[in-house]
Chains A and B, each alone.
Chain A
Amino acid sequence: TQLLEQSPQFLSIQEGENLTVYCNSSSVFSSLQWYRQEPGEGPVLLVTVVTGGEVKKLKRLTFQFGDARKDSSLHITAAQPGDTGLYLCAGAEDTNAGKSTFGDGTTLTVKP
């Protein structure tokens, strides 16, 4: 069973601060996704990274895929209360068709 470890598990910061969330594994993934989930709703896809070393930006969010495709990070610049939620990373494998492995998530709270 492949494992994805996310850190930190909980993060509480003030509006305007920067933060980074990490997603680490000993396994190689063909692609990695980041999702955001709000209470009472399903996860919503933020980004997919595919190539080792890839960096993608989505407004104030920056996603990076490690060179070896085993780890990823999510950096948020100048966090806002609307960024509050559960952030999940998930790794997908083509060799194990149909399965994505999820980390346990990082619960982010941004205080105004």
Chain B
Amino acid sequence: NAGVTQTPKFHILKIGQSMTLQCTQDMNHNYMYWYRQDPGMGLKLIYYSVGAGITDKGEVPNGYNVSRSTTEDFPLRLELAAPSQTSVYFCASSYSRGSTRTGELFFGEGSRLTVL
């Protein structure tokens, strides 16, 4: 059972470069999220999506972009990478029971990004 799959697991980026972190889920979940986690800290929401074609900003969206063309995929784009974007990035998905969000998140294994 794949669940939420993220690639790459590790990447080193130079300042000013751009890259895309990939995320795909096979659970047919409507909701998808990107979080970043800095050392010893909790998770900060970057962007989220409540369904294909719909995205919205979280707490820390600056420097990032997302798209949601399908239910399964939710890539995160970093434009003009900066050292402050060095972090571990987690993609997650969630589902609803009827019209009610469960709030239960299923996470990928993370993508560790270093910007030098």
A interface with B by C-beta (< 8 Å): 1, 6, 30-33, 35, 40-45, 48, 88, 90-92, 94, 97-105, 107
Contact = CB atoms under 8 A, between A and B. Distances in A.
B73 to A, nearest CB: 17
**A interface secondary structure, majority:** strand
Overall SS of chain B's interface: strand
A32 B101 CA distance: 12
A88 B103 contact: no
Interface in B1-49: 4, 31, 33, 35, 40-45, 48-49
Contact of A99 (B41, B48, B90, B108): B48
A98 B102 contact: no
The number of chain B residues touching the other chain, given as a range, is: 20 to 34
Contacts of A41: 109-110
A32 B105 CA distance: 11
Contact of A42 (B45, B50, B101, B108): B108
B50 A48 contact: no
Contacts of B58: 99
Nearest to B49: A98
A94 B41 contact: no
B107 A42 contact: yes
A104 B45 contact: no
A16 B105 CA distance: 31
B31 A98 contact: yes
B5 to A, nearest CB: 11
A30 to B, nearest CB: 7
A48 B108 CA distance: 19
A33 B104 contact: yes
B66 to A, nearest CB: 12
